[in-house]
Amino acid sequence: MSKNKKKTQDYLLMHSRAKVELLGNYLDRYLNIIANTHVEKIHVFDLFSAEGIYKNGGHGSPIIILSKIKNLHEINSGKNKNIPQIEVVFNDYDKSKIEKLKKNIKAESLDRLPKTTIKYRAKDYKEIVKVLPDYLEKKKQDKFFIFIDPYGYKEIDSTEIKSLLNSRNSEVLLFQPTQFMFRFESSGTIPESLDNFIKQIMPDVNKHYDDIWQFIIEIKEGFRRFMGEGYYVDTFTIQRDSNTVFCLFFFSGHIKGFEKMLEAKWEIDKEKGEGWKFERTRDIFNLDLEKNKLEEHLMKYLKEKRNNVELYEFVLGKGYLPKHCNEVLKFLQKNNKLFYIGADDKPIPKNSFYINYENYRRNLVKGIFQLK
């Protein structure tokens, strides 16, 4: 094992902190949403958990996960909410890491959380991912969140990721060392495991990628094609330096979960909603430029009549939130570029666009949009 790889695993570096920050931001939203539904049980799987606390004191994914569960109960204490039971499974192939994880969780006073069961496993990832889809299918009334942060890329198979989503009751957050994958791919010396992965999701295996960003986009689009209609895939990039970019891939069969992940991304990257960059300066990116990109997308999309339900799905698919869409629509409306009327041909109050999940869920068409 190289010194750099060992350091990454033993110490929480700045780019790794961005990874667990996104995990925490999403879990905040995810747990609070589920707590407001009739779901009786939430399952959280961390399939490469490691020890939970790094040698420099940084908190890894297990501590982040349990801290968010603790927050859920503290925020909702006294509100008479029937918070569902939560079962957390921490797994790592290295038994010594699991034993240290148990001690670290106890030291952080996170081992006895209300309505929470913690289970520990020391199994090979392939062994778990083989049986987990059947378990998800048997528990279709429950909700599952699965975090996969492998020590490399050899363990990951796209077919297995899709199998974790087939029951439509789960979300998956996958970390991939895309920089190392790109270096192998661009050099032409691709290990068999990586070659198999690329062939699964990228139809043009002989295509040359000019840079890591193009490579990541191709992986995302490849995952989207592979997963098929009704599944949502997005990325969160982590740029450690000018030559090193890693990536988190998020998968969901539910558009609401997808929206919550986009919110988590935009909370970290308020300027682009794309990822984390070491020592980012505000003059590199700005939200106005991002609005212009969204405006370009909408100008093309609104050449035909569209309704608020269609706009909700379209905007999320482009990586933006309803609030961003509303700002662009206000601008178009202010400049007399937008035809907008109620579904019943009646006028609609100014700046009321009805682009949200509830209207989408109920297929409630309240407005028709088109460029003038």
CATH of the domain at 255: 3.40.50.150
If asked whether residues 206 and 299 sit together in one domain, one would say: no
Q: Give me the residue label for tokens 């990228």.
A: 202
If asked whether residues 94 and 221 sit together in one domain, one would say: yes
Cα–Cα dist 174/316, whole Å:
20
If asked whether residues 114 and 141 sit together in one domain, one would say: yes
Q: pLDDT > 90: what percent of the chain? A: 58
DSSP 152: S
Both structure tokens of 336: 């007399």
More confident site: 200 or 296: 296
Confidence of residue 280 (pLDDT cuts 50, 70, 90): very low
Contacts of 234 (CB under 8 A, 6+ apart): 220, 249, 250, 258, 261, 262, 265, 319
Q: Which of 277, 312, 337 is the last residue of a domain?
A: 277
If asked whether residues 187 and 226 sit together in one domain, one would say: yes
Is the four-CA dihedral 90, 92, 97, 99 of positive or negative sign? Answer: positive
Strands 244-252 and 170-176, bridge-based pairing: antiparallel
Categorise residue 346: left if φ over 0, alpha if ψ from -120 to 50, beta otherwise. Answer: beta
Give the pLDDT score at 10: 57
Give the pLDDT score at 5: 45
Mapped onto helix, strand or coil, the DSSP state of residue 40 is coil
Q: Is the pLDDT of residue 201 over 80?
A: yes
Confidence of residue 286 (pLDDT cuts 50, 70, 90): very low
Assess if residue 282 is contained within a domain: no
Count of all residues that appear for the chain in the document = 372
Q: Which of 277, 309, 328 is the last residue of a domain?
A: 277
Q: Which of 243, 277, 311 is the last residue of a domain?
A: 277
If asked whether residues 52 and 115 sit together in one domain, one would say: yes
If asked whether residues 197 and 311 sit together in one domain, one would say: no
If asked whether residues 29 and 150 sit together in one domain, one would say: yes
Both structure tokens of 38: 């009739």
Assess if residue 20 is contained within a domain: yes
Q: Are 190 and 198 in contact (CB under 8 A)?
A: yes
Give the pLDDT score at 216: 87
Give the pLDDT score at 112: 96
Assess if residue 263 is contained within a domain: yes
If asked whether residues 293 and 268 sit together in one domain, one would say: no
If asked whether residues 147 and 296 sit together in one domain, one would say: no
Q: Is the pLDDT of residue 197 over 80?
A: no
Assess if residue 127 is contained within a domain: yes
Residue-number span of the structural domain to which 70 is assigned? 3-277
Number of domains in the chain: 2
If asked whether residues 170 and 75 sit together in one domain, one would say: yes
More confident site: 152 or 52: 52
Assess if residue 31 is contained within a domain: yes
If asked whether residues 202 and 294 sit together in one domain, one would say: no
More confident site: 280 or 114: 114
Assess if residue 52 is contained within a domain: yes
Assess if residue 218 is contained within a domain: yes
Q: Is the pLDDT of residue 240 over 80?
A: no
Give the pLDDT score at 77: 74
More confident site: 242 or 71: 71
If asked whether residues 211 and 103 sit together in one domain, one would say: yes
Give the pLDDT score at 283: 33
Assess if residue 103 is contained within a domain: yes
Give the pLDDT score at 200: 81
CA distances from 79 to 35, 70, 82, 183 (A): 12, 15, 9, 52
Q: Is the pLDDT of residue 181 over 90?
A: no
